[in-house]
Amino acid sequence: MASSNRLRKTALICGIGGQDGGYLAAHLLRLGYRVVGTSRDAQGSHFEGLVRLGIRDRVRVETMSLVDFRSTMHVISRTRPDEIYNLAGQSSVSLSFDQPAETLRSIVTGTLNVLESIRMLDAPIRFYNAGSSEMFGDTVAAPASENAVLRPRSPYGIAKATAFWQVAQYRMSYGIDACTGILFNHESPLRPERFVTQKIVAAACRIAAGEQHTLALGDLSVRRDWGWAPEYVVAMHKMLQSDAVEDYVIATGVTNSLEDFVSEAFAAVGLEWREHVKSDPRLKRPSEISCSRADVSRAEAQLGWRARFTMRDVAHLMVEARLARAELPLRRAA
């Protein structure tokens, strides 16, 4: 048994309590990994995502503050992971405008502390860093590839761009097997309602049930590439299995407007969205990205990864999951 445990890979997931952390943990467990997750307060956290996925009792959790180097170093040296996935840090673009300093600190300092820990331990640890399409800013002219110029337009995007260059520098200067997955928008039933997609899905279901009458949103013309989170974590893992660890853009390659997403979510419960949705200028961001487009050719060619679900699938899957949890029937559009 001891020999078997030594051959088993260990993955450390920083920020396991979030959407991606839960799905990644489930995926790695299916592959036979020993999974350790971190949270700022492991004892006080409920890890609802892990519970909903039925894997809470199969994951060891540790308290770790990524912005505290000693805490980060201690957990990494004690758990001795083969792979580290950094999914922690402030994750809301909207909130980053209200908390720019905390956003920068949680993402940039946290990423640096993991990289420095790996360097000082001099261990053969492979490191995945969660990037974001927000690093690119507007991509109206052409879909963004791994070599696109970074023009972030939010504190969140700026922090992710800084962490991206930190990872690249440690890979080039210190030979650390580290990469950034530049993930475009990806959603699931585990999304909290502070994210606009879940806000829309929740409102559509409540309106259909007579519990709510209207939904206020910001700019409905913004365009995004929405994918299915359980698929995207597969790409994360694939990125660390390559002989040469590199950065990749992960997306569906299909862009839709927020209005399109709203239409699909309301249609899934048999409603005409125009009768219930209104635009509120106060909900618009200070510097909104009008269009987000992705070039996914490199991931397809080198990782063999391609998204199966696009925006319409995502909207319907999220509605079906929410209705199933509430034990409500799904009303089909005529």
pLDDT tens sequence across 148-163? 999 999 999 999 999 9
From 23, 128, 156, 170, active-site residue: 156
Banded model confidence at residue 327, pLDDT cuts 50, 70, 90: low
Query: Alpha helices, DSSP H only, in the chain?
Result: 2-7, 19-30, 48-52, 69-79, 93-98, 100-104, 110-121, 155-174, 196-208, 229-239, 258-267, 297-298, 311-326
The pair of structure tokens assigned to 190 is: 């585990």
Q: What is the per-residue pLDDT across 194-222, written as a single tens digit (0 to 9) for each?
A: 899 999 999 999 999 999 999 999 999 99
Nearest alpha-carbon partner for 158 in 185, 136, 188? 136
Backbone φ and ψ of 62, nearest 5° = -130, 145
CB contact burial 171-195 (16+ within 10 A = b; e otherwise): beeeebbbbbbbbbbbbbbbbeeeb
> Model confidence over 8-38: pLDDT tens digits?
899 999 999 999 999 999 999 999 999 999 9
Query: Which of 150, 31, 20 is CA-nearest to residue 86?
Result: 20
Which member of 62, 134, 187, 264 is catalytic? 134
| Residue length of the chain | 334
Q: Which domains does the chain have, with CATH numbers?
A: 2-186+229-250 (3.40.50.720), 188-225+254-287+311-326 (3.90.25.10)
Strands 186-187 and 227-228 turn out to be: parallel
Number of other residues whose CB lies within 10 A of the CB of residue 168: 15
Report the predicted TM-score, pTM, of the whole model to 2 decimal places: 0.93
Residue 198 vs residues 103, 109, 159, 170: alpha-carbon distances, Å: 22, 29, 24, 36
- Nearest to 144, CA basis, from 232, 224, 222: 224
> What confidence score (pLDDT) does residue 41 get?
80
Confidence of residue 2 (pLDDT cuts 50, 70, 90): very low
Rounded mean pLDDT, 55-71: 96
Catalytic residue from among 39, 96, 132, 133: 132
- Over 60: is that where the pLDDT of 56 sits? yes
Q: Does residue 134 have an active-site annotation? A: yes
Strands 186-187, 256-257: pairing is unpaired
- Tell me which amino acid residue 124 is: P
